[in-house]
Amino acid sequence: MKKNTIHLLIAAVSSLACTAPGVSAKTFTESMQQGSVIKVNFRTRYEDVTEDVINAAGATTGEKVADAWTTRSRLSYQSGAWNGFGFVAEMDNVTEMTNNVDYRTAPNDPLNPTAAVIADPVGTEINQGFVSYTTFNNQIKYGRQRLILDNARFIGNVGWRQNEQTYDAISFTNKAIRYTNFTYAYIKNVNRVFGEDNPGLGDLNMNSHVLNASYTGFEAGKLIGYSYLLDVENPIAQYGLSGDTFGARWQGTVGERFAYNLEYAQQQNAGINEAYSADYMLAEGTYTISRFSIGLGYELLGSDDGAYGFATPLATLHAFNGWADKFLTTPKDGLEDKYLNLGVTFGGAQALVSYHKFDADVNGADYGDEIDFSISKKTGAVVWTAKYAQYAMGDAATKVTDTEKFWVMADWNF
């Protein structure tokens, strides 16, 4: 599984963020040595999935099951600076350790149609490869790169999957105005987690513009405004992936123990898609005391009268609406997610329990509920993680079936 060579070429004018301020090699050759960094990462994970199958009457007729033991090997190179220019290259390889890929890597994967989906296709790819140029207040990156904006609800890297989502793009960041950060990116192609060989869910060829501006000059928090203008080149085949989203986010704090987020966005049609409009709302708060935290939240991905559900196709979706990943695509009736998070730190480990209650935005459907649990601990260079997710179906007519997932993962950094 190789990704296409980056199609974009553009001049870059800014300072190199990936080197220490004031350090610049005298020649290009020296820049490849002075201040350069090489990193190696191995991430081994076992994933087990069980998902019920139901018939038209809503009765359970069987199960889809799958498991996968995969290792992602990553080699990263970050050059030193040469007159403000720098270079980053990153290679990934994903291997199934048993040499037996008996799981589906995408919903439309014809291989093993009775197996559950584990979206970790095997293969080798260029994960990142970009040139950067930086001045004191500006940075431009051109090439294949990682993009993560805010909490990754709209633009993210899907870092949980072994094959990370990256972007063939040119991005520009400016910090010339005090307390203000402005980011613009033109995205030509999205290298999705399913791999470019997937006929329907592989790379997305786009002509998309991403704008995000934040201001941190308020004592009480951070204000963010954004416009995400996504235009897939074939919006008929990729319905729901093209659209214009405009929104604002407030990240606030009250004292040292309470943090909260408020957000609103509106999405409307773009390109030749049928006309639609849907709203997004978020309200969440977290109270922390000593080793404990408790959080409550409400997220709405609204519906346009049952014809279209608010979409976030470039998000890090695994981080939202439960780890069972039952709502990677928003239902046409929309989705309300009411959730509770309980966290604790003990013995150097972090544990989290989450509960989600899902309902439709319109037409009153019950989309079920989910409970998630995770625990992680770092020992030396390794981060150990165990996660569990159990989703229980609501109304049978929704056809969102009972699902159970379990993960054990070790992440080595060198």
Residue 181's pLDDT band, with cuts at 50, 70 and 90, is: very high
CB 111 within 8 A of CB 125: no
Q: What are the extents of the domains in the chain?
A: 28-413
CA distance 190 to 196: 10
Residue 273's pLDDT band, with cuts at 50, 70 and 90, is: low
Residue with the bigger pLDDT between 74 and 201: it is 74
Alpha-carbon distances of 88 from 49, 82, 132, rounded to whole Å? 36, 13, 8
Q: Which of 50-54, 87-91, 110-114, 219-223 has the lowest mean pLDDT?
A: 110-114
pLDDT, tens digit (0-9, with 9 covering 90-100), for 284-311: 999 999 999 999 999 999 999 999 999 9
* Averaged pLDDT for residues 239-243: 78
**Structure token pair of residue 3:** 């990704």
Q: What is the pTM of this model?
A: 0.90
Identify the pLDDT of residue 270.
61
CA distance 44 to 319: 20
Identify the pLDDT of residue 14.
34
Residue 10's pLDDT band, with cuts at 50, 70 and 90, is: very low
Identify the pLDDT of residue 111.
77
* Averaged pLDDT for residues 236-265: 90
pLDDT exceeds cutoff 60 at 175: yes
User: Class of the 28-413 domain?
Assistant: mainly beta
* Averaged pLDDT for residues 43-62: 93
pLDDT exceeds cutoff 70 at 80: yes
pLDDT exceeds cutoff 70 at 144: yes
* Averaged pLDDT for residues 45-61: 92
pLDDT exceeds cutoff 60 at 376: yes
* Averaged pLDDT for residues 76-100: 94
Percent of the chain topping pLDDT 90: 77
pLDDT exceeds cutoff 80 at 29: no
Q: What does the H/E/C string look like for the chain?
A: CCCCCCCCCCCCCCECCCCCCCCCCCCHHHHCCCCCEEEEEEEEEEEEEEEEEECCCCCEEEEEEEEEEEEEEEEEEECCCECCEEEEEEEEEEEECCCCCCCECCCCCCCCCCECECCCCCEEEEEEEEEEEECCCEEEEEEEECCCCCCCCCCCCCCCCCCCCEEEEEEEEECCCCCEEEEEEEEEEEECCCCCCCCCCCCEEEEEEEEEEEEEEECCEEEEEEEEEECECCCCCCCCCCEEEEEEEEEEEECCCEEEEEEEEEEECCCCCCCCEEEEEEEEEEEEECCEEEEEEEEEECECCCCCECCCCCCCHHHCCCCCCCCCCCCCCCEEEEEEEEEEEECCEEEEEEEEEEECCCCCCEEEEEEEEEEEEEECCEEEEEEEEEEECCCHHHCCCCEEEEEEEEEEEC
Percent of the chain topping pLDDT 70: 91
Alpha-carbon distances of 116 from 50, 103, 106, 280, rounded to whole Å? 7, 6, 9, 30
* Averaged pLDDT for residues 84-93: 95
Identify the pLDDT of residue 21.
41
Residue 239's pLDDT band, with cuts at 50, 70 and 90, is: low
Handedness of CA 308, 311, 317, 322 (dihedral sign): negative
Residue 11's pLDDT band, with cuts at 50, 70 and 90, is: very low
Identify the pLDDT of residue 4.
43
CB atoms within 10 A of CB 366: 16
Mean pLDDT is highest, among 144-158, 220-234, 262-276, for 144-158
Residue 208's pLDDT band, with cuts at 50, 70 and 90, is: very high
Buried b (16+ CB within 10 A) or exposed e, 10-35: eebebbbbbbeeeebbeeeeebeebb
* Averaged pLDDT for residues 239-261: 93
* Averaged pLDDT for residues 197-218: 90
